[in-house]
């Protein structure tokens, strides 16, 4: 039995490790940018797909299928990103006689459509953000909607987008005037005055539920993840459990997630993403029909191996996940080759030094190594740091400790952001929502410019002046007789 | 600011305060600085040009400005040489000559770049501190030089 | 608050990490062999003790106390080995006004004495291996002892040692003849014919119970560890839980361990070592009054942080360990710089390459790094690999996967032994006892000489012939013009 | 056994079977060998002397005997040189001459060690394949040689 990993980077490495533990043979694929990448080195077999651009390599269905054919791989795991939620790819795999490690293509399709998935959720009794199904004919309809679903509301232009024509409505008293103005604005902007109302979820958190489905029809929810720390809708830090979800709410959101998965007869690992309001009400956002980037925090806390389980399911084996129980708290940091002090500008290039943290409760899922190149062609994620400890405060202390051991030089990284987070009061108290990080970054109150210490100056001066004698046990250098080295003196550095 | 000593053992003086520091190189290339009071700092330092030094301590990157003085002092104009009015340009640190921009007999102006010296991975433009004529050029591009090595002699053409 | 770690290597690193997570300042100590060692680099402060020999450095009470004084450290953690079970050192710390991170010196002393500890266990109702308290006056006494405690017995010369005068007694019928022969043999060997009988525990396993005591009097048992894989009485691989301990037996041995700890009013982390007979009877061996090398397997399975708890107790804080529950299975491999194919000959020297495994369920507690020197002066343990998974078979599969990623070059290591173990049927079935590894090594049935594969030959030939072109993205080498490189051809290598 | 090609792309032939292999160097110094059928082997190889090569694959250390042929072929006796009966001793691989045990004019016996060549960190004793007189010694200890470089000429004293 042989599995082809149709991906690269840390997730390819994660899947390859799971295969090795399962005794499943592995085929890696690579573009010309990745011939020397860790995910290739770790596989039993490897097939070149094409040039660096993803279109010609990791996104080429044709070349991936050819690679599977050439190596005799029976299974294809898409990872996340690239073709992971592409129903046509899943279908092409099945049609080529391969086992696609994921749900049925129909489930991918249904959940890939905003309208179709909302319809199914509605039927399954999973709450979605309430909204009017058609434009309001009069201000009265707005007030009626508000009376039914509560304020504040958001008026949106039917023909709109990009925030234009959007208007907040705080109470019934404002409904009429707001409707007039929003309608006029919409007419002016889009030539169409139609507006509709949606319930506005204020300061929402992003909470998601991990589900594992099996062809037998069994679907298990494995708790929630807190993913509110986002930069422009991109998750940066994830936790398990959520600091604001207690047992009762957990039971409710897990039940809703199972209903959501059941509505598409889900048969793999998947995630139901929810918007959680401060009052504990929650709304379906979307379902990700694949293994998530942040799956490790669930694995650590719930003691499950999602990647392994997903492959086992695809192999037709029974669930081994049982009735898992939570223990402790886990946090994941996504480490990108981006400079958080420069608007998260990507920083491709060669990794000079890479020191990974280790010890208790530290897990490194990393797709690069020292001396390797971070190509400009793909998502610049280098890997993930996952910590696990008995409770949230201990997990943050452990994260802080691990970050003090973590070193990446040669390319910029998001490590400074995480170092700032673990020292931030609001983060420590768990007081954040999906806009929190963008807000704090915009305010400039999170990333303080590093303060140079006296010891830094000494380190700089000493290093430039010749640093250390040779380490004990090593031979002295062959060069000698430098009078400067004999009695070095570097005056007036500053 | 003043730094005296030799690799492994240094004395750092700044604002009248003196600190002795013992330095060891770690297997991964970092330096461990151990101060006399027991305090330790481990990290890397890399000159990034323009007198800036990037230090990495506990994975955190900070930039220290060692500024022009270091830059300038990579070569120094030593005491009068053979003839009066001679300026000896010597390497203050071990390094490698990347480029020699003048030849013997050339006229140089004060402040003109005469050669480029690479030290600690930083390329440093070495300038003449006074105008004159290149009386001697003791180095060639590519050549390694010890700290203190004579590189160039500029003779004051008015001397 | 500042803690001095009176140790080196991986355990010093472990303690320093715990301190960092607790916000406790750290002082490392080092000998001249260790100036550039990881445990020094990780500490806030560091003090040189003296030359490489342990007597003049890590075993020098005087110098350790001077280092604590010089840095103002309030706590001293001894780790394991060196002075960890030296009551005089613990007492000297207390007398110097320091907090010794460990139990009361009296508890160390009581458990350090074979006779005193057996006496206390007897009083506390903890079983010890039954033995006659004085030499047998006649064969009849042997038979009486056998009738009471069961066969087989072992007759031992009172004046003896080294196996001489030892004789197995299978049944009452043999008692008389065996007594005569053993007595005659003892008289011939030692000039003293006195012999006594002890119950012979056949094919015993080494199982030990982790206990955590608190000055309040509370003592918690945190399950058992299986440590039967030993080489000449030295543990090599440890597991949690033991493959042969079920809930009922676990309850019994944990209760016995708590009684043992109570008998010396134990107030720290400690371990009660037991001999477990195939019939489920067990006997006290000794109590280790310190943190064990193998504590991580308990941490992984029981979700506790023993090192942190130990320091917290010393700081006068309450237990946070609660009522922990087991989850999954953990295995630890002790990685030594020793060559298992050459009688475990120590292999000091410089570590050329060190590639650590990573990913889910893998923990590295390592005290060395690439480029570092393994000194000849100390125990040659490089570190520990700990894996954790849902059950024993998955943990072994994970261990096998991690070992495939692990690379140490420059010095020999015990990695080949572990690679052989994870492929061995008896190990997989958990069928072993304390003599098993020595037996298998002596038989030569465990460590097969590595079989060279066709690919190895290609790798060797290709590497010697010039290997690879320059990695993508890097500059071509400056050397050129080698006609051989231009059209390399290496004929008839073999 | 036969290996043809150049760094990055090789053709390996043994027992009549030919395998094409593409080779990449990994950032940590290992080589990734990718065979035409997709199979891959990653590892290091280090010559340890006496024709032995230590390979490390998936962390496992194994010793491959490339044996005498390689050992011998590190130098090869090329086609007749200037005079008939001359044997040219050439370096088959780039390396460094560690020791030259003969001087021009010395008599050497067949099989006698004439020099020691270090290549791929392996010290290889190079032996004369026929007896004769050292007609020319083109290298000195410490000297780096390219593959193919002439090192020694042994003249058949009977020729």
Q: Per-residue pLDDT tens for C365-403?
A: 999 999 999 999 999 999 999 999 999 999 999 999 999
Contact with chain C for residue A11, Cβ under 8 A: no
pLDDT at D123 over 80: no
* Pairing outcome for strands C269-276 and C205-213: antiparallel
| pLDDT of res. B92 | 65
pLDDT at A493: 38
Q: Which residue is associated with the tokens 């009794």? A: A125
Tokens for C481? 């013009």
Nearest chain D Cα distance for residue A351, angstroms: 10
Touch criterion met for B and D (3+ Cβ pairs within 8 Å): no
Size of chain B in residues: 159
Looking at the complex, report in whole angstroms how far the Cα of residue A283 sits from the nearest Cα belonging to chain C. 32
pLDDT band at A490 (very low <50, low <70, confident <90, very high): very low
Q: Which of C137-146, C186-195, C220-229 has the lowest mean pLDDT?
A: C186-195
Residue C27 contacts B, CB cutoff 8 Å: yes
Tens digit of pLDDT for each residue in C422-462? Answer: 999 999 999 999 999 999 999 999 998 888 888 999 999 89
| The pair of three-digit structure tokens given for residue A478, joined into one six-digit string | 């062959």
> Quick one: how far is CA A118 from the chain centroid?
23
Query: Which of B33, B38, B58 is the best substitution to test chain C (most C C-beta atoms within 10 A)?
Result: B38
How many CB pairs (< 8 A) connect A and C? 117
pLDDT in tens, A96-145: 999 999 999 999 999 998 888 989 999 999 999 998 878 898 889 999 99
The pLDDT-based confidence of A191 (bands split at 50, 70, 90) is: confident
Quickly list H helices, A322-414.
392-405
Chains that touch B (3 or more CB pairs under 8 A): A, C
- Token pair for B73: 């002092």
Question: Of the given ranges (A272-286, A449-463, C117-131, C396-410), which has the lowest mean pLDDT?
Answer: A449-463
Please tell me which chains touch A, using 3 or more CB pairs under 8 Å as the contact test.
B, C, D
The enclosing H or E element of A196 equals strand A195-199
In terms of average pLDDT, the best of B143-157, C281-295, D10-24 is C281-295
Query: Which of B59-73, B140-154, C131-145, D30-44 has the weakest average pLDDT?
Result: B59-73
Of D25, D28, D38, the CB nearest to A27: D38
Mean pLDDT, rounded, for A258-269: 98
With pLDDT > 70 as the criterion, what percentage of chain C qualifies?
94
Q: What pLDDT does B80 receive?
A: 39
Tell me which residue in C403, C467, C493 faces D66 most closely, judged by beta carbons: C493
Token couple for D24: 């990449």
Question: What's the alpha-carbon Rg for chain A, to the nearest Å?
Answer: 26
Q: Does A362 touch chain C (CB under 8 A)?
A: yes
C-alpha distances (whole Å) from C226 to each of C93, C206, C385, C431 are: 33, 6, 16, 12
Residue A390 has pLDDT above 90, yes or no: yes
Q: Out of C355, C481, C493, whose CB is closest to D28?
A: C355
Q: What is the mean pLDDT of residues D123-142?
A: 83
Average per-residue pLDDT for chain A? 91
Neighbours of A188 (CB within 10 A): 11
- Angle A168-A172-A175 from CA coordinates, rounded to 5°: 50
As a whole number, mean pLDDT of residues A376-381 equals 94
Query: Greater confidence, C5 or D17?
Result: C5
Interchain CB distance below 8 Å, D32 and A41: yes
Q: For residues C210 and C254, what is the distance between their CA atoms, to the nearest angstrom?
A: 8
Q: Is C326 on the interface with A (CB under 8 A)?
A: no
Of C299, C356, C360, the CB nearest to A363: C360
A401 interaction partners in chain C (CB closer than 8 Å): 17, 20-21
Chains with 3 or more CB pairs under 8 A to chain D: A, C
Closest-CA residue of chain A to D8: A35
- Per the CB < 8 A criterion, the answer to whether C333 and C381 are in contact is no
Instruction: With CB atoms and an 8 Å threshold, state whether A46 touches D24.
Output: no
> How much is the average pLDDT of C27-52?
97
Distance from CA of A239 to the nearest CA of C (A): 16
- Is the CB of residue C356 less than 8 Å from the CB of residue A405? no
pLDDT of residue B78: 38
In angstroms, the separation between the Cα of residue D4 and the nearest Cα of chain C is 5
How far is the C-alpha of A120 from the C-alpha of A289, rounded, in Å? 15
Residues of D in contact with A46 (CB under 8 A): 32, 34, 38, 40
* ipTM score for this prediction: 0.84
pLDDT score for A479: 33
Kindly state the average pLDDT of the residues C110-134.
90
For residue A53, give every residue at least 6 positions away whose Cβ sits within 8 Å of its Cβ, in sequence order, or none: A31, A377
Please give the distance of CA A376 from its chain centroid, rounded to a whole number.
19
Partner-chain residue, chosen from C27, C46, C369, that has the shortest CB–CB distance to B28 = C369
pLDDT for res C165: 67
Q: Look at D79 and C39; give whichever has higher pLDDT.
A: C39
pLDDT-based confidence at residue A156 (cuts at 50, 70, 90): confident
Share of chain A above pLDDT 90, in %: 80
C229 contact B CB<8A: no
Q: What is the pLDDT of residue A103?
A: 98
Interface membership of A307 toward C (CB under 8 Å): yes
What percent of chain D clears pLDDT 70, i.e. is strictly above it? Answer: 79
| pLDDT of amino acid C398 | 98
Residue C475 or residue A424, greater confidence: A424
User: Tokens in use for D109?
Assistant: 């016996």
Contacts of B47 in chain A (CB under 8 A): 464
Q: Which of D23, D58, D69 faces C467 most closely, judged by CB atoms?
A: D23
Which DSSP helix (H) or strand (E) runs through A286? strand A282-288
Q: What is the share, in percent, of chain C residues with pLDDT greater than 90?
A: 80
Mean pLDDT of chain B: 80
Res. B84: pLDDT tops 70: no
For residues C395 and C237, what is the distance between their CA atoms, to the nearest angstrom?
Answer: 13
pLDDT at C317 over 60: yes
Pairwise CA distance, residues A365 & C72, whole Å = 39
pLDDT tier for residue A438 given thresholds of 50, 70 and 90: very high
Strand order in the sheet with A205-213: A282-288, A269-276, A205-213, A219-231, A234-240, A329-336, A381-389, A362-366
Tokens for D50, please give them.
């006496």
CA gap A86, A100 in Å, rounded: 11
How far, in Å, are A254, C107, C113, C151, C235 from residue C285 at the CA level? 49, 16, 12, 20, 15
Put simply, the answer to whether B39 touches C45 (Cβ < 8 Å) is yes
Chain C residue with CA closest to B30: the answer is C41
Chain D residues touching A372 at Cβ < 8 A: 27
Pairwise CA distance, residues A73 & A45, whole Å: 10
In this prediction, residue A435 carries a pLDDT of 95
The residue of chain A with its CA nearest to that of C326 is: A327
Checking if the pLDDT of C478 tops 50, the result is no
More confident: A474 or C305: C305
User: Exposed/middle/buried for C181, CB within 10 Å: 0-12, 13-18, 19+?
Assistant: middle
A225 included as an active-site residue: no
- What element of type H or E holds C99? strand C99-100
The confidence score (pLDDT) of residue A46 equals: 98
Residue C315 has which token pair?
């700081």
Residue C338, pLDDT score:
95
Which pLDDT does position A161 carry in this prediction?
65
SS3 C337: coil
Give the span between the Cα atoms of B15 and B30, in whole angstroms: 27
Nearest to C44 among B25, B32, B40 (CB): B40
Chain D positions touching A70 (Cβ under 8 A) are: 38
Given the residues A8, A167, A205, A290, the one annotated as active site: A290
Q: What share of chain D is helix, strand, coil (3-state, %, to 5)?
A: 5, 60, 40
Contacts of B62 in chain A (CB under 8 A): 450-453, 456
D83-100 pLDDT tens trace: 456 777 877 667 788 889
Taking the Cβ of residue C407 and every Cβ of chain A, the question of whether any pair is shorter than 8 Å is answered with no
0.95 exceeded by pTM: no
């Amino acid at each position: 039995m042989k599995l082809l990993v149709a991906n690269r980077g840390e997730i390819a490495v994660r899947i390859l490790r799971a295969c090795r533990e399962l005794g499943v043979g592995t085929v890696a694929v690579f573009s010309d940018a990745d011939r020397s990448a860790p995910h290739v080195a770790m596989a039993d077999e490897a097939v070149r797909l094409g040039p660096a651009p993803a279109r010609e390599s990791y996104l080429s269905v044709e070349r991936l299928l050819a690679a599977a054919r050439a190596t005799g791989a029976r299974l294809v795991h898409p990872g996340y990103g690239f073709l992971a939620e592409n129903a046509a790819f899943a279908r092409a795999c099945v049609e080529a006689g391969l086992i696609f490690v994921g749900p049925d293509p129909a489930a991918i399709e249904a959940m890939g459509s905003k309208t179709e998935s909302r319809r199914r959720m509605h039927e399954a009794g999973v709450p979605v953000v309430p909204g009017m199904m058609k434009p309001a004919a009069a201000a009265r309809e707005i007030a009626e909607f508000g009376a039914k679903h509560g304020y504040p509301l958001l008026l949106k232009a039917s023909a709109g987008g990009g925030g234009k024509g959007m208007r907040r409505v705080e109470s019934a008293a404002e409904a009429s005037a707001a409707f007039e103005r929003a309608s006029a604005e919409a007419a002016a902007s889009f030539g169409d005055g139609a507006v509709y109302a949606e319930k506005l979820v204020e300061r929402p958190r992003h909470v998601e539920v991990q589900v594992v489905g099996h062809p037998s029809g069994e679907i298990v929810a494995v708790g929630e993840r807190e993913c509110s720390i986002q930069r422009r809708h991109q998750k940066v830090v994830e936790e398990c459990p959520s600091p604001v979800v207690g047992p009762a709410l957990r039971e409710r959101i897990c039940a809703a997630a199972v209903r959501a998965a059941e509505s598409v007869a889900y048969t793999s690992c998947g995630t139901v993403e929810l918007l959680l309001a401060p009052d504990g009400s929650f709304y379906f956002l979307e379902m990700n029909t694949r293994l998530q980037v942040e799956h490790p925090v669930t694995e650590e806390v719930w003691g499950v191996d999602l990647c392994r389980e997903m492959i086992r399911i695809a192999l037709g084996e029974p669930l081994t996940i049982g009735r898992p129980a939570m223990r402790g708290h886990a946090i994941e940091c996504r480490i990108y080759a981006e400079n958080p002090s420069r608007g998260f500008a990507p920083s491709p290039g060669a990794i000079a030094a890479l020191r990974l943290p280790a010890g208790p409760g530290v897990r490194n899922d990393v797709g690069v190594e020292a001396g390797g190149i971070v190509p400009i062609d793909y998502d610049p994620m280098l890997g993930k740091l996952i910590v696990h400890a008995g409770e949230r405060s201990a997990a943050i202390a452990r994260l802080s400790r691990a970050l003090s051991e973590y070193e990446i030089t040669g390319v910029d990284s998001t490590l400074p952001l995480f170092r700032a987070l673990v020292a931030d009061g609001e983060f420590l108290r768990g007081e954040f929502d999906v806009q929190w990080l963008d807000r704090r970054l915009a305010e400039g109150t999170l990333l303080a410019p590093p303060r140079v210490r006296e010891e830094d100056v000494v380190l700089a001066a000493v290093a430039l002046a010749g640093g250390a004698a040779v380490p004990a046990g090593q031979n002295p250098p062959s060069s000698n007789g430098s009078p400067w080295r004999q009695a070095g003196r570097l005056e007036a550095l500053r | 600011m003043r730094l005296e000593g030799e690799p492994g053992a240094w004395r750092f003086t700044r604002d009248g305060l003196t600190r002795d520091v013992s330095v060891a190189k770690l297997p991964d290339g970092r330096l461990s600085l151990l101060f006399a009071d027991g305090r330790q700092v481990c990290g890397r330092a890399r000159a990034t040009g323009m007198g800036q030094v990037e230090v990495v301590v506990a994975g955190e990157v900070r930039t220290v400005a060692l500024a022009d003085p270091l830059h300038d002092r990579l070569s120094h104009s030593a005491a009068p040489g053979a003839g009066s009015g001679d300026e000896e340009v010597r390497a203050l640190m071990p390094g490698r000559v990347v480029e020699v921009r003048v030849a013997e007999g050339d006229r140089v102006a004060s402040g003109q770049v005469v050669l480029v010296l690479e030290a600690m991975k930083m390329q440093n433009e070495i300038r003449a501190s006074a105008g004159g004529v290149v009386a001697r050029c003791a180095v060639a591009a590519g050549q390694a030089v010890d700290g203190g090595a004579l590189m160039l002699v500029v003779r004051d053409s008015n001397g």
